[in-house]
Structure 1
Amino acid sequence: MPKPSFKRNTPKKIIGKKILIACEGKQTEPKYFNAIRQDLRLTTVQVLILPHDGTDPLSVVNTVLEARKDKKREKTWFDDQDSAWAVFDGDEHIANNRPNWCQAIQIAKSQKINLAITNPSIEFWYLIHFQDHSAIIARDKARERLKQHIPDYDKARCYYQKELKVRTKDAIKNANKLDELAKQNKLPEYSNPCCSGISKLVEMLLKLGDR
């Protein structure tokens, strides 16, 4: 007669929500969002930072679309709770390849892909953690200003835990001010020369961490 087994069945982790994020950058943005994901320790939320080869806005949007299609084929995607995000910069793409930029935004909106666009670059999002800024600023100037607050700034490094985490709510507040200013001045959507849509994605992640 076989001996009874007293081995416990390990309960399966139930994933209640999925968030897909594709970033234009290969280092700065993925490291930043991975740091937030690890810090929040979300047990019922799956945050996937998607790898991809392209650097233009359209390739970022297409990466998210393909990943979402895969999830739908696996029947693990639910439109009412899951979300997909495309993260990319504005300035150089608007100036150098506006058709690609416009097509990326058009497809994203039609396919209900959320956009987290920072103009001019991710460094501007980092900058408004430390100061309010509403004037037009070039990419190089934003990096220069940021180095006044993070002297050893390097795109390949992650500064979330050491420098940015405690200032995140200030950054979100400053980004919201810029959104309101853009609306008041009737600036084109996503083309505001001084903005950061990353705030919406970060705010959503932080709210999930508060649950």
Structure 2
Amino acid sequence: MPKPRKPATQIPEKTMKIFCEGEKTEPNYINSYLDHIGSTNQQSVVRVEKTRKNTPVQLVEAAINAKNNPATLPDDIFWVVYDRENVAKYTDALHAKARKMADQKGINIALSNVCFEYWILLHLVDTQAPYSDFKDLKKTSALNAEFKKLDCDNYEKSSATIFDIVKHGLDNARTRAVRLNAAGKQNAQHGRDQDHQINPYMGMVDLLDDIDNF
């Protein structure tokens, strides 16, 4: 009589945990992107974590704490997503501190310089114009005009439908961001070639690539 088989041991899956500065805008976009690519596996292992942290250093600390959790697997991936903002709000020193902490602990950063809305703008137009902050971009860029061309109201930060509105331009956004980032690095002044020192710079393209390959 054959011996009964032992139940198969389920191997835990590695996960990607993403910590966002915004409570709605960035999480809504990322979760909608996961729905868009339609991978059940990725949807189950890529998670936007809930957090009340919203400064670069705080977000990196939150990711480090999660990475140090005993339940974390060795291959788990951690990302933090935040904006450069203007210098009056977040100094270069603050961003440099967050970057150093992240690099030391293996945390990835998707920084938007100057703000996440530049990434949305790249879905709609090809631009490399710098802006001083979100208010400047919303007031002087083509963002609102492009939304109106799509029969939408002006851009609203916390809208749950932002991705659906701009997803037709996703491939363009990725191509433009790669080109923009390369040009920013190439033209950066000596000693000022970090993401937070290059305006504009879009780290979102790296995050989406990592999600695709996860």
The counterpart of 1:189, out of the listed 194, 201, 206, is 194
What is aligned with 1:135?
Answer: 129
Gaps of 5+ in 1: 1-10
Work out the percentage of aligned pairs sharing the same amino acid: 25
Separation in structure 2 between the aligned mates of residue 160 and residue 14 of structure 1, nearest angstrom: 36
Which residue identity lines up with residue 148 of structure 1 in the other structure? A
Query: How far apart are 1:90 and its partner, in Å?
Result: 0.4
Q: Which whole-Å deviations, capped at 9, do the CAs of 1:21-65 have from their partners, x for residues lacking one? A: 001111101111111123334333301111111221111111111
- The number of residue pairs the alignment matches comes to 192
Structure 2: tracts of 5 or more residues without a match: 1-7
Over aligned residue pairs, what C-alpha RMSD do you find? 2.2
Query: How far apart, CA to CA, are the structure 2 residues paired with 1:161 and 1:193?
Result: 23
The answer on 1:112 being equivalent to 2:109 is no
TM-score of the superposition, structure 1-length normalised? 0.81
Tell me by how many angstroms 1:177 deviates.
0.8
CA deviations on 1:134-179 (whole Å, 9 max, x unpaired) are 1212322322421111132211103355222221111011111111
Distance between the aligned counterparts of 1:173 and 1:106, measured in 2? Answer: 28
Tell whether 2:79 aligns with 1:85.
yes
2:210 alignment partner, SS class? helix
Kindly indicate whether the alpha-carbon contact (under 8 Å) linking 1:56 and 1:100 is maintained by their aligned counterparts in 2.
no
Distance 1:29 1:13 in 2: 33
Moved over 6 A (4+): 11-14
- Aligned counterpart in structure 2 of residue 155 of structure 1, from 154, 157, 164: 157
Name the counterpart of 1:95: 88
Residue 41 to residue 66, structure 1, CA distance change in 2 (3 Å): farther
What is residue 31 of structure 2 aligned with on the other side? 34
